Amino acid sequence: MECTILNDESFNDFIDDDFDIKSFSANILQTKLVADYLQHLNELIRTLDGEIKQQVSSNAPVLFRQASSIGTIEDVLENMQSRIGSLKSTVDRISTKVTEPYNKILVRKYQLTRLQNTCDLLRRIKGVLQQTKKLQTFMSPSNAGQQQIELVKASQCLSELDHFTVDTDFTGIDIVEKDLQFVFKARHDIQTQAQDVLENGLNHLNPAQIGTALQVFFNLGTLHDRIQSIEQRQLQNFQAQISEYLDLKQLSRSKDPSNPGRTTMPNIGNTSQFRALLWTNIDKILELLYVTIAQLYNLSRVLAKKKDPITHTTFIDELTKQGHSSDLVGQFWVGAMKSLRKQMKISMSDSYHLRQALEGEYPRLLRLQNDLIARLNQLQPGFSEIEMDLIDKDPLDSEQSQEKQKANLQLNECFEIFEKSYLSILSSRLSDPINLVFSSSSTTKLLPTQQELESFVKLIVNELTVSIVSEALVNKVARNIGKAIQLFAAKCEQSICTDSEGSQVVSAPTAAQLRNISAINILYNFCSMINKMLAEQQNLPLTATTRIADALQCVHSLMNTAIHPFLNSVADCIEAILATMHTEDFSQPTGTQSDSQSSLYMKELQEFIIRIQKDYFTEFQCKDFMYENLAPIACRAIELFMEHISLVRPLGEGGILRLVVDFAQIEFALSPFCRRLTDLGKHYKILKAFRSLLILTTEEFQNNSVIGDVVPYDIVLHHLFSRAPIEMRSPHQAMNWSINRYIQWLDEHPNMSDRLAMIKGTLETYVQTVRNRQQKEFAPIYVIILNILDKGLASTA
């Protein structure tokens, strides 16, 4: 039957496992009346008694059955008691029989253990005596060549002795006491001699001596400690040496000539002596770095070749198993670079003179770096490309710990703090002369002289020559030179006039034009000297040459800016003069006096070109530049000349002969624009070919191979229109355009198909006119024009 008082909340406090009567009573005394709570407790007690009675009465059959089984349990316990007694007596009898044999066996065991210990001790004593005797033989004096061989054998004896003496106490054994003392002294002597051999081998880079010493240390079991000691000592020695070599007090100390044994502390301003000693010490630092790397490199090679005679494992693998790095050179290099960079920063912050010396002669420092890297590459091929650990690697950063950096870049980083200052100083050295030249406000000093140009170019050559030690540095120097060239161009631009005063050609050159010409001459000479310098600098990297050449483009652009307004005016005047040919009469028949004379426009053109050649062109010293810019004007003049010639109408036989004379005269007129007229290329060929066409009859035009191949179709067709009857109007007449308007249209439509389409429309207009007049046939020249037009359209299709 289920107990009902468990569900009563009044009993909850009393059935908890952590019920404490003291704390419960104290709580009742503080929160409730004691008399009332006692009465409540009495009621709970009565309730509990009633519950117990109820449980007993309801479970009476079960209680009776359990009470009746108590007798059965007592019988079972008595039976077990008797059996346990029998078992105990049996065990006692067995124990009595086993104890005596066990004690005998135990005694024999102690005897055997002591016998074995005695045999082992005797064996060890014998081994000690034998190996000590061998050791004494190997330790006997001999010549220096045999001393190394005996040293290895002696170390092998010590290795064997270690097996006999390990974990063994020889205290009180007189027979081996002196031998052990000899062994202790021999061990010290062997280690000392082996260390001397190792030092001598490292200093003279002798692999045989290094190998002997390493074998000794391996036999003695101290190889790992010795290698670790060498690395630490090498790094500490390097740190101490660079600290001493870059110490301001040491650099500032000089010898007293009157007393060679004394040193004085002179003024640091004596920079020549200070800098000489500084560069000597820099050489010593890099030489020490090379020597140390060479020693560790040879040490690593020997470690990789020497093997354990038993396991045939190389010494370097044995070191790796003990947690030592297999890259001795790389480990030292990273530590040395870290120390060198730190010391350079400290020395630079402590000494202005040291910083000034290294910044001003940074290329010299870079040359020493490159020499060191070259020597290291000879020592260990590809050393500069070896990936080393980062100098400032954070061991807690797993990603950074996997990053690597090339050895030559790490060495450059140690001195790169001087590079920015050097480039800044270089920028000032290059820009100061330019600013000084253009600092005067007067126009006479606004442009540099030839001597000043040569000085500036010489400065550029010197800077490039000094920085050629490093491709990276020379590229940066070239970039600064490019900026200086751009500054030079910007300063020159201030003296250039591009308004009407600088472009007029109707009178003598103005002051502004003369100043423009001087600027162009100076800029051209500057470019010529720079290009000559680049051609002579054969060792200059392509990147540096390209950067300087690109910077010269701004100078070329400035020259074009200065000369184009003037050249545009010249071209405009030539175009205007050529356009006046249409005001002359070319309809005369042959046989007149004017047939052999040039036209008035041609005379005007020749006079104009002769005048500008005398007043302007002769002032230019840059002939190549002038011919380069005048050639397009000459080509344009030929093109306009032929277009205007082809449009001359009416045209008689005498007019044709006069035009032929004009062809010869324009060659003479344009000769100042180029060295040879043949330099004008196809334009000169067209000019000569078109002149030969003028003297042909109209019928001879039809199958002439020059048309289309040399002389453009539109020029020939325009000329044939000039030979046609009046009713066959030219294209500009059919469109009711002026000749200038038509010339402009031709310029806007350089495509031959567009021009021929215009001419085709003109012919269609003529055909329509003939039909409207109900004429029975076309003009004979129409067929010739139509055939040539069809060929032109077919060639452009």
Q: What is the pLDDT of residues 144-180, one digit of tens each?
A: 444 444 777 777 776 666 666 666 666 667 667 666 6
Q: For residue 167, what pLDDT is reported?
A: 62
Question: pLDDT of 724-778, one tens digit each?
Answer: 999 899 999 999 999 999 999 999 999 999 999 999 999 999 999 888 888 888 8
Of the ranges 16-25, 203-212, 214-223, which one carries the lowest mean pLDDT score?
16-25
Taking only the tens place, the pLDDT of each residue in 108-118 is 888 888 888 77
- pLDDT for residue 396 is more than 50: no
Give one DSSP letter per residue of 334-390, joined into a string: HHHHHHHHHHHHHHHHH-HHHHHHHHHTHHHHHHHHHHHHHHHHHHSTTGGG-EEE-
Side chain identity at residue 730, one-letter code: S
Cα angle: 161, vertex 163, 166; to 5 degrees:
100
Q: What is the DSSP string of 444-512?
A: GGSS--HHHHHHHHHHHHHHHHHHTT-HHHHHHHHHHHHHHHHHHHHHHHTT---SHHHH--SSSPPHH
Which pLDDT score, from 0 to 100, does residue 399 have?
Answer: 52
> And the tokens for 349?
């912050």
Q: What mean pLDDT is reported for the chain?
A: 83
Alpha-carbon gap, residue 2 to 333, rounded angstroms = 87
Residue 375 makes CB contacts below 8 A (sequence gap 6+) with 290
- Positive or negative: CA dihedral 10, 13, 14, 15: positive
What tens digit of pLDDT does each residue of 671-688 get? 999 999 999 999 999 999
pLDDT band at 264 (very low <50, low <70, confident <90, very high): very low
Residue with the larger pLDDT of the pair 207 and 124 = 207
pLDDT classification of 267: cutoffs 50, 70, 90 = very low
Short-list 521, 531, 632, CA closest to 574: 632
Strands 387-389, 254-256: pairing kind:
unpaired
Residue 721 has pLDDT above 70, yes or no: yes
Q: Which residue, among 166, 252, 153, 137, has the nearest Cα to 193 in the 3D structure? A: 153
Mean pLDDT for 693-697 is 90
Amino acid, res. 709 = D
Res. 490: pLDDT tops 60? yes
Mean pLDDT confidence for 29-34: 73
* pLDDT at residue 352 greater than cutoff 70: yes
Residues 425/360, Cβ–Cβ less than 8 Å:
yes
Say whether pLDDT at 386 is over 60: yes
* pTM given for the model: 0.68
Predicted confidence (pLDDT) at residue 394 exceeds the cutoff of 60: no
- Nearest-angstrom CA–CA distance, 123 and 127: 6
- Model pLDDT, residue 581: 92
Please say whether the dihedral angle defined by the alpha carbons of residues 55, 60, 62 and 67, taken in this order, is positive or negative. positive
